[in-house]
Amino acid sequence: MEIIIQPTTEAAVSVAARIIARLLHDKPDAVLGLATGSTPLPLYQALIAMNLDWSKVTTFNLDEYIGLPRAHPQSYHSFMWENLFQHINIPKENVHIPDGHAPDIPKFCSDYEIKIHEAGGIDLQLLGIGTDGHIGFNEPTSSLTSRTRIKTLTQQTCADNARFFGSEREVPHHVITMGIGTIMEARQILLLAFGCQKARAVAEAIEGPITSMNPASVLQMHQTAKVCLDEAAAAKLQRADYFRWVYDHKPEWQDF
């Protein structure tokens, strides 16, 4: 894993935006795996401001609540259109977001896997991390080889996400999420984490054992996973100085 620690959230976002901009420059028809939540929001704002060409890009979102109408303000459909897609020139047919209202959800999930495969696989998967180490909505104890499927959220995740809803009672308990095995097949992975509430999950994922108790720890097995952190999210890393030293001494050709 490449750990990139930046002094501020803005600086970490700027590194992540440059990584994605470079990919779209090098591969205009790239396939991106996208994430929702508060973490990617400033990244989407930065990407919008860069005026990139998204006309050939295809996207697959990680997850969606089951049972929320698409138009519900907290559905991930609404989130993605409001915060990214309506501001860029991506063709509507290139956007894929799990459908939490599909009549046959298990079939929808296996078809989603087929669509990712038919699109040529994901070039870069963007990830946030839950306070319990989840990636997508793969909660602790998820199979490390899981595929797109239905999951039940933990009470902790429902409590964490209650801030987006009126109350914790309104947070749906069931979701569709890409599996950990699905995520691990992406050619590049870019995980972002900001703020001290993520510091423990981040340290366990990077420096702890690989365990389904912290699903993000599986990224230790990925060949090109990058983790972009602000200082607060990096606060519990024992090897932070080493990670900073590596980043500061990157050869020019490796720079973003």
Query: Which residues are catalytically annotated?
Result: 63, 132, 134, 139
Asked if 129 interacts with ligand PGA (CB under 6 A), we say yes
- The answer to whether 51 and 87 are in contact (CB under 8 A) is no
Query: Among residues 38 and 155, whose Cβ is nearest to ligand PGA?
Result: 38
Contact partners, residue 114, CB within 8 Å, separation at least 6:
none
Residue 134-173 contact track with ligand PGA, rule CB under 6 A, x = bound: x---------------------------------------
Residue 204-233 contact track with ligand PGA, rule CB under 6 A, x = bound: ------------------------------
Residue 67, by phi and psi: left (phi above 0), alpha (psi -120 to 50) or beta?
left
Question: Amino acid identity, residue 228?
Answer: C
Maximum Cα interatomic distance, the chain, rounded to a whole number of Å = 53
> Cβ of residue 62: shortest distance to ligand PGA, in angstroms?
8
> Cβ of residue 237: shortest distance to ligand PGA, in angstroms?
18
> Cβ of residue 50: shortest distance to ligand PGA, in angstroms?
21
Q: Give the residue among 3, 9, 76, 69 at the shortest CA–CA distance from 45.
A: 9
Query: Among residues 98 and 128, whose Cβ is nearest to ligand PGA?
Result: 128
Q: Which sign, positive or negative, has the C-alpha torsion 82, 84, 88, 94?
A: negative
d(CA 177, CA 151): 7
Residue 80-119 contact track with ligand PGA, rule CB under 6 A, x = bound: ----------------------------------------
CA dihedral 183, 187, 193, 198 (to 10 degrees): 40
CA dihedral 179, 14, 203, 60 (to 10 degrees): 0
d(CA 34, CA 186): 11
| Binding residue (CB under 6 A) for ligand PGA from 128, 172, 179, 215 | 128
> Cβ of residue 38: shortest distance to ligand PGA, in angstroms?
4
d(CA 113, CA 122): 11
Tell me how many residues contact ligand PGA (CB under 6 A).
7
d(CA 239, CA 153): 32
Query: Among residues 36 and 58, whose Cβ is nearest to ligand PGA?
Result: 36
Residue 21-50 contact track with ligand PGA, rule CB under 6 A, x = bound: ----------------xxx-----------
Asked if 175 interacts with ligand PGA (CB under 6 A), we say no
| Binding residue (CB under 6 A) for ligand PGA from 130, 172, 179, 215 | 130
Query: Among residues 84 and 129, whose Cβ is nearest to ligand PGA?
Result: 129
Segment interacting with ligand PGA (CB under 6 A) among 106-114, 122-130, 181-189, 245-253: 122-130
Half-sphere exposure of 98 (CA within 13 A, CB side): 35
Q: Give contact residues for ligand PGA (rule: CB under 6 A).
A: 37-39, 128-130, 134
